[in-house]
Amino acid sequence: MAELSNTVSQRAARNRWLLLTPALIILIFAASGPLLITLFYSFLTPGDYGGVEWKFSTDAWFGVLMQRDIFDDTLGWSDAHLSILWRSVKLSVLTTIACLFFGFPTAYFIATRPKKQREFWMLLIIIPFWTNLLIRTFAILELIRNEGTINSILIALGIIDEPIQMLFTEFSIILGMVYVYLPLMVLPIYAALERLDFRLVEAGYDLYATRFNVLRRVILPLVKPGVIAGSILVLVPSLGAYVTPRVMGGGNQLMLGNLIELQFGQGRNWPLGAALSITLLAIVMVALLAYVRAAGNEEVKHG
């Protein structure tokens, strides 16, 4: 009997791996495998016309944060890279905060609608989420460019004579990222708010809490997992953003994603580009791990 069940489970295991084979082949060939090759490339020497020479070197990794002085060859901090890294982190955090400021009330508004209306409001959030990111960035671009809608209207009304320069600034990048990533903040917060037991809110008011105190002491602690999830969902793609800073920043306000691209275009330094990619990946992984730990703690507390 034991033998029989053994062969059955063996066959089940064999079938399982057979079924998984197509997905695994594609993913290893076009997702995981290339990542390992990228890590490998970051330890090679750049070729003269792009590509690499097969010589081991750790220069690319030094190049992520450091640079050699062109005159006396001493190692120093690379101001350009540090400022781009700082801008990436700063703009991503600001984007997350702005998304939270707009996203939380929106999720709350939807969650407090009558049940039948909620699906409609959620569809309004989901539609932009599945719409082409480039098109949405382009829509914002048309709104704020110098010949764009806002400036044209203001000039037509005679409020200003010269168009206000809004495009190609850090502000325009944040605006673009908030616009494209906002649904990612609303979705998880809504999911948490929908499960919120409003009897607890009522209990708070019965005990003479003010509205602000109910929000701070009752609602926020209960939906904290949703808030954390939303923040991570916005922070991670912001850190790796490429299209939005390229379109809204116009080549002056580089973020990490654009710096990486440069190494494969004009920069012709593939190993440095590879090392920068792995750095970006590491930053994102740290953010994701922090989230997994925070979510895990939350479960232990409530479980």
Partner 1 sequence: MAKRGFDIRKLRGFSGIAMTCFVMLYMPIVLLVVYSFNAGTSVAIWEGFSWRWYVSAWDNEMVQEATVRSLIIALSAAAIATTAAVLAALATTRNRKFRGQTAIFALIHQPLMVPEIVTAVALLIFFATIKVATGYTGLMYLIIAHSAFCIPFAYLPIRARLQGMDLSLEQAAADLYATPFQVFRRVTLPQLWPGILAGAMLAFVISLDDVVITEFVKSAGQDTLPTYMLGQLRRVVTPEINAISTVLLMISVLMVIAYTLLSRTKK
Q: Which of residues 91-150 bind partner 1 (CB under 8 A)?
A: 101-103, 105-106, 108-110, 112, 123-128, 130-136, 138-143, 147-149
Cβ at position 73, least distance to partner 1 in Å: 29
Token look-up 């490429």 returns 242
Closest CA to 187 of 253, 268, 122: 122
Cβ at position 169, least distance to partner 1 in Å: 17
Identify which of residues 86 and 120 has a Cβ nearer to partner 1 in the complex: 120
Each residue of 179-204: b (16+ CB within 10 Å) or e?
bbbbbbbbbbbbbbbbebeeeebeeb
Looking at residue 119, its amino acid is E
Identify which of residues 138 and 171 has a Cβ nearer to partner 1 in the complex: 138
Cβ proximity of 81 and 166 under 8 Å = no
Selected from 202, 293, 296, 298, the binder of partner 1 by CB under 8 A is 202
Cβ proximity of 239 and 280 under 8 Å = yes
Selected from 82, 154, 284, 294, the binder of partner 1 by CB under 8 A is 284
Identify which of residues 2 and 70 has a Cβ nearer to partner 1 in the complex: 2
Interaction between residue 4 and partner 1 (CB under 8 A): no
Burial class (CB in 10 A: 0-12, 13-18, 19+), 282: exposed
Region of 29-37, 59-67, 82-90, 220-228 interacting with partner 1 (CB under 8 A): 29-37
Token look-up 């939380």 returns 104
User: Site mask, partner 1, residues 146-185, x = CB under 8 A?
Assistant: -xxx-xx--------------------------x--x---
Interaction between residue 274 and partner 1 (CB under 8 A): yes
H helices present in 112-241, as ranges: 115-129, 133-144, 149-156, 170-194, 198-206, 211-214, 220-239
Interaction between residue 49 and partner 1 (CB under 8 A): no
